[in-house]
Structure 1
Amino acid sequence: MTRANKWLLGLGIAVLLLGAAWLALLHWLPSDEELARRASAELEAQLGTKVRVGGLRWRLLPSPAVVIEDVATEQAQPILIKKLTAYPDLFALAQRRIKIDRADLEGAVVPQLSLHGLGGGREKDETAAEELPLARFVFRDLTWISRRGIAVVYEGEVDFDPGWRPRKAELRRPGFKPATDLSLARQGQEDRWAARIHVGGGTAHGEVRLDFRAKGRMHLEGELQPQGVEVESMMAAFNRRSVIAGKASGQTTLSADGDTVGELARSLHTRTPFNIGKSTLLRFDLDKAVRSAGREHAGQTPLDSVTGQFDTQNTPQGMVVTYTNLKATSGSLSASGQAKVANRQIEAEFAVDLVDGIVGVPLSVSGPLDNVKFSVPNSAIAGAVVGTAVLPGVGTAIGARIGATLGKIFSPGPAPPASAPPPARTAKPATAR
């Protein structure tokens, strides 16, 4: 037999073997209709709601994969999946087990409110949770819609260990400058991850930990260190408007409890004591608001510094944001107070000192965020002007005393008794503009 004939014989044998393997694989692979039926039934069982699958097919080249397209949950605001490609573990498939080496998601819309209606299906299989049903998940063009209708596009990837524990993960805001991203890296085999965050031209690196307690309940906690984060840019990265421009630093602690990842997210609480240096209060002239008793406030307010504590608390009705121990200073004013934002409504109380004429003026802020109302009692301005005319330069001290009674701003009590008059002055008193 010639060398050429030997090569042809070997090639023929190889082709026959591949053909036999291919036929065996096709024998084990379910049909597209069977896959669609399984997918719909499994999704409905897991999610507790009907799911429409537009199309599902096998793709054999360049590697075996299942392609599912145009998926939608039957909800008022449906969760939509444009295309999901899953690359199965063929060895597991031959054993009638579903195990995915990698899944690629290309285009999806996830309304936050729609997630609350999911999870009412059958109970999870604790044994299966210890397996590794998905090794790697990659997603592109995923649009998250907040409960208030704000849409933000993300991309990223997650590598899983058994029990759905991320080994490493990345989340990015594609196309946004400066770079906005989060990365997690698991530390050994512990449920502890190093977190690296870039946002607003600054960083917020730290660590998060997950503990499992009685009856499988989970507890999440962690610490982050925001450094040099430009607040206006950070808010813009998530399609939101900021009330202040300036670089913030601080120390964030976070905690959450729940039986599922969803419950952890819905209970998340963060606390951040912060400080901001040179900054600008955007779209609000505090000096003008005080002097006009809240009737005029268009403009900006330059600030030398802002300090305080920023708390967030996720609830079934949305996030509640609380600001406490707020203190702001500039060359012309100082202010202190607190604020609370919930359901897009704000309630805030401040005491404002203007060193060149008005001191200790109570300022209240309330109403929906898109139509905020400002109020400054005329009597408070008159009293503050008299006090300044008599004792110029002590605005901060008077403001501190008035600030101690901020809880009475919305329903002020009787005026405090007048104090003894101060010594006569020889210099010309300062007056309000």
Structure 2
Amino acid sequence: MAVTKQRPASWRLIGPGIVVAATGVGSGDLVATLIAGERFGYTLLWATIVGCLVKISLAEATGRWHLATERTIFDGWSSLGRWTHFYFGPYIVIWGFVYGATAMSATALPLNALFPVLPVWAWAMLAGIAGLVFVWFNQYPVFEKVMTAFIGLMFVTVVSLAVILLPNLGNMATGLVPTLPQGSTIYTLGLIGGVGGTITMAAYGYWVNAKGWRDATWIKVMRWDNRVAYVMTGIFVIAMLVVGAELLYTANIALVESDRGLLDLSEILRERFGRPIAVLFLIGFFAAAFSSILGVWHGVSLMFADFLGHLRGKTNRPVEEREESVEFRGYLLWLTFPPMALLFFDRPFELVLLYGALGAFFMPFLALTLMWLLNSSRTPAEWRNGWLSNTGLALAGLLFLIVSGNELVGMVSGLF
């Protein structure tokens, strides 16, 4: 059997991995990692590294499916049966409604702190509309350049802050040994599973195709792109852990477990280092939040266009055609305007429960269906899973099932 000739990897080709990393690492991940450092110091450093390895495995499998088969992940899901439609359809609609409000609110917080001329809800609306306008009128090449700029800003801001805090390298080294402090088990699993891990993991294959990588000759390039992006993510996450450990853990300072905790951190930075450092951090906070808006508005809209296209018998459309489609732009509007109603009210309890229940199972769904697809005759024999990929996907699936089960138990117990 002839081996597919591979194109040479190059730094200048990197792009889709940067996009998925910038999208996946949002303000929620900043808070989770920061509080891990605040509560446990460097003890959970190993968990952040394992989390990045898990994401490399998932993204590589998604990209390899798109390139080896020249079909999208939704083509693969459809081949497994219509049950995938019955799960994915309600999930992507409800997820988009709730996530839209969440992402807009997160982006509004640093904008309101930097420019308090408008209330949070007004900044949230402007952020959503800005994302809509940008994605509506720009295709992938421009989108990638802007996302690269945002992740560069995030990276420089947070890593610079970690350097300023002069981390204790000896204490950091102890965190490389896997240990579980009392009360940290579920929190650790969530940290591994949460950093950079959302529905946008599945969007990676669509961005790979949008880059112009359309067949198996690009798999080596895709793997390089994926690894570089998640090594950067790992450095970024470790830097945030340093901030929590050096600034909060040593001083016994606790933060709120929400996006507003990042505003509290900016005040702590202002008191210790002065306003310029606090402003720099708020800019990084904004970059993390707004890049998630742009990434979701573009990537998940592509997935929705593919999903609805399948239902309408329109399969195998080029990415450029999907970006101009009614389905793509309809979902953009869905992400932007209906969620604005949630900015003025507490989220409806039943909707949040349904969103949580469906969302909890997405990452196990992605990991386990990728194992199914990439070990079957649907994938050319040359590109089927080896033991390393199977181990990574199995670990991801098991991990996410445990985390999902814990989330569901928490939601059910909240009913009583």
- TM-score, structure 1 as length reference: 0.17
Which is richer in helix? Answer: 2
Name the structure where strand makes up a greater proportion of residues.
1
Instruction: State the TM-score, normalized to the length of structure 2.
Output: 0.17
